[in-house]
Structure 1
Amino acid sequence: MQDIAHYKDTLTARKRELYRRLKKIETDLDAPMNADSAERATERENDEVLEQLGTVGLGELEAIEAALDRIAAGTFGACAKCGEPISPERLRAVPHAALCEDCIAH
């Protein structure tokens, strides 16, 4: 089995980083709009990008929380669908992966 402590540390560090990024996004979105209408249009476009980044970040944060729950439950590294081990290569690439390669492909 993979080094659970390593994955827990990796997931916890990524969680902290995501919280920092999401807080920055929130702060940027709360900033007052520019008085210039052309600048406001650009700021609205930027806000849409920030909102999308925030949504993606929240999704990853949920996946990390679920992975940390699997570590606590002793089921980390096992596919949530079929129960087979998730390959070390997949976990290195996506430490919060809940599915093995076969299940994610189907």
Structure 2
Amino acid sequence: MDVTIDPGPYRAILEARRAELTLRLTRIETDLDQPRNADDDDRAIERNNDEVLEGLGGAGQKELVAIEAALERIAHGTYGLCGKCGEPIARERLDAVPHAALCAACAADL
């Protein structure tokens, strides 16, 4: 069984996702920096929207960190190997989550 993972296609996917997230996070930051409405009702709606944007921004930042780590693993030749047990990560898992650092078994243990 060939367990060697060619990181090339994954690198392209990760870099594209990094660019997409960076743009999205920049837009979220811009939206959060906008002046607030003086109307009380509108301010309440804006606060709710800000909470949603902050949640999306936090999730995006976590994914961005995971993508950067995956790109580092590619650079160091360890991409596709589980960070916990050292076994290869299934290609199907990497296809679904290109920034996965753990094999399915180790991820399930968390």
TM-score, length-scaled by structure 2? 0.95
- Indicate the percent of aligned positions where both proteins have the same amino acid: 62
- Aligned counterparts of 1:96 and 1:22: Cα–Cα separation in 2: 18
1:83 maps onto 2:86 in alignment: yes
Pairwise CA RMSD of aligned residues?
0.6
Q: Following TM superposition, by how much is the alpha carbon of 1:60 offset from its aligned partner in structure 2, in angstroms?
A: 0.2
What is the match of residue 54 of structure 2?
51
- Aligned counterparts of 1:41 and 1:57: Cα–Cα separation in 2: 24
* Unaligned residue ranges in structure 2 (runs of 5+): none
Picking from 9, 15, 37, the partner of 2:40 is 37
| Consecutive aligned runs of 4 or more in structure 1 exceeding 4 Å deviation | none
The AA in structure 1 aligned to 2:30 is T
Aligned pair count reads 106
* Unaligned residue ranges in structure 1 (runs of 5+): none
